[in-house]
Structure 1
Amino acid sequence: MSWPKHEVQTPPYYLHSEGKGIDIDKWSIIVTEGPILSSNEIESWQSQLALKLPTMAFGQNTLSFHYNRERKFYFSTFDALQTVSHCSSWLRVKPAALWENRQANVDLFDANYDWTFSTTYGGTWLMQGEETPLSATESCLDWSLLRREDIPLLFFKELTLYEDELDDQGISSLSVRLRVMSSFFYVLCRFWLRVDDVHFRLYDTRIYHQWNSNVVMKEYSEQEASFQQVSEMGVDSRWFTNSDFMQKVLPLTKKTATRYYLTP
């Protein structure tokens, strides 16, 4: 997709106090943050979700996008956990026998869930969109604009929604990064899974909107490979904990784009 040349023009904006968000070009972007769930909150969430929670679930961390005072999409830990499968994952940690013994010692409903907490969650969307498949080389995002270093950064936020160290056998995490620039906003919602000596998985949702346009673009991709596959690529193991680096090397298995239209 080709994009027109763009001159940077900053619309009027207002920064909320204490990093709680920004108002700009008919948008109000609102951030809430808080600690991990308390024991009482964990018990309540597990009952509602019928799901054993990750060791760190940040229930108060949200990122909401309002257009003309109407909420259009948002990111929520609870909503994300609702998408975790209640079927056990086919993946097994390296010391599988120890893991199976551990599973035998927990309640039945605890065993009936995806212990990797894998999710394709890319926000809760309150408007309809048109989805199309993309090839590995296609993108709905204006990368020439996204990569420019001369565009002023007005607001930045990174939130962890949940994280689990998989009994010291790797990492499972869901996070959201936001950049509000003088000419656009850009969001990366990333699920990152590393099961040590077994598997890598990366599910990315990227959201892009240019000021004064009536379109919000969402691009979703899935990448994954076994440890053996990555090792055979010659990737240095020191990069295995870096999701940004691994995004550059993991094979792409799926890619789609969704276009959302804003009404005046």
Structure 2
Amino acid sequence: MMIHGFKSSNQDFNFGPWKVTAIKTHIMKSADVEKLAEEMHMPCLPEMMFGDNVLRIQHSSGFGIEFNAKDALRRVNKKEGALRVACAEEWQESRSENDHSKEIVKPYDWTYTTDYKGTLLGNDLTFNVIPTTERINTEKLKTREQIMFFEEVLLFEDELHDHGVSGLSVKIRVMPSSFFLLLRFFLRVDGVLMRMNDTRLYYESDKMYMLREYTSKESKVSDLSHVPPPLFTEPNEISQYLPVTETVYEKLEFPFIPQEETSDSPNSTHTQAP
């Protein structure tokens, strides 16, 4: 489903006042995973946990946003919701001949579903997140523009005891005048459920803000009988068949950076970050 990049790499790319950092390293050791699960009060964490992987976009003045597995998993429901219980029972019934299914249904969200939209960076200076009616210009994204930097970072993946897949990955592409990022959580519980939570982040270099769009889609597999089965393993293809259950449109406004008063300018002013 996703790129399994086990080769360690640490890349920085400068884009005006921004620095994009992509860190990809080895899978977490089981002892570290167990310790982290304890800290998070979860029975267990995904089989493939890339706890040190990160994709970060940071302004020279310190504020920014990053995407990492630990913060994403902190957004996982620690208790079963009604839908998840129903789903688990249906799944357990369909797998009754298999003892493994008994192990999976535990009092926590064993699908690792997360509505994580990124971690804001900065102490005194951070993005101001507000609702917006503005939308990402998808037509502009389709125009052929030189890609100066591209990277995909896998944050976690779990094969649900061979009964599907649950995973989170983030990818970014930087063009001369903009960058576009997609954080995708993808879940397939074989024979039961498909779910996709996408966070898109878009920035044009002449703007004083980024646009962030979160879309959650979900469908029971029984409602997807019209979809060719091979598409079930292709998130990009299956996406168009899944009904939207939630959308959040936000503007990440850059913080005001105070300028020191000088004798030439008696009135102190606030200017926005470049």
TM normalised by structure 2 equals 0.80
For the 8 Å contact 1:122–1:205, the answer to whether it is kept is yes
* 8 Å Cα contact 2:104-2:160 kept in structure 1: no
* Contact kept? 1:28, 1:69, Cα under 8 Å: no
Cα separation, partners in 2 of 1:237 and 1:59, compared to 1, 3 Å = same
SS of structure 1 residue aligned to 2:58 = strand
1:1-264 equivalences under 5 Å are: 20-51=11-42, 52-88=44-80, 89-90=84-85, 91-92=87-88, 93=91, 94-95=94-95, 98-99=99-100, 101-102=102-103, 111-126=106-121, 127-132=127-132, 140-149=135-144, 151-231=145-225, 234-262=226-254, 263-264=272-273
Shift of 1:165: 0.3
- Count of aligned residue pairs for this structure pair: 233
Does the 8 Å CA contact 2:104/2:110 hold for their aligned counterparts?
Answer: no
> For 2:150 and 2:104, how far apart are their aligned partners in 1?
40
Secondary structure class of the residue paired with 2:148 = strand
Q: CA RMSD in A?
A: 1.8
Paired residues of 1:54 and 1:162 also in contact (CA < 8 A): yes
Aligned mates of 1:103, 1:22 — CA distance in 2 = 41
In structure 1, stretches of 5+ residues that fail to align are 1-17, 105-110
Q: What do the CA deviations read for 1:9-67 (whole angstroms, capped 9, x no partner)?
A: xxxxxxxxx66021111101111111110122112211211111000000111011111
Partner of 1:108: none
1:3 maps to none
Separation in structure 1 between the aligned mates of residue 10 and residue 102 of structure 2, nearest angstrom: 46
Deviation for aligned residue 1:122:
1.6
Shift of 1:183: 1.3
Instruction: Verify the 8 A CA contact 1:27 1:69 in the aligned structure 2.
Output: no
**Partner deviation per Cα, 1:110-131 (whole Å, 9 max, x = no partner):** x332000000112112422112
Report the Cα distance in structure 1 between the residues aligned to 2:111 and 2:182, rounded to whole angstroms.
20
Amino acid at match of 2:36: W
Q: Percent identity?
A: 30
Shift of 1:254: 1.4
Cα distance, 1:100 vs. partner?
5.5
> How high is the TM-score relative to the length of structure 1?
0.83
Residue range with higher mean Cα deviation, 35-44 or 194-203: 35-44
Between structure 1 and structure 2, the one with the greater Rg is: 2
- 8 Å Cα contact 1:186/1:207 also seen in 2: yes
**Per-residue Cα deviation, 1:102-147 (whole angstroms, up to 9, x for no partner):** 258xxxxxx3320000001121124221125x7xxxx710112101
Structure 2: which 5+ residue stretches go unaligned? 1-8, 122-126, 255-271
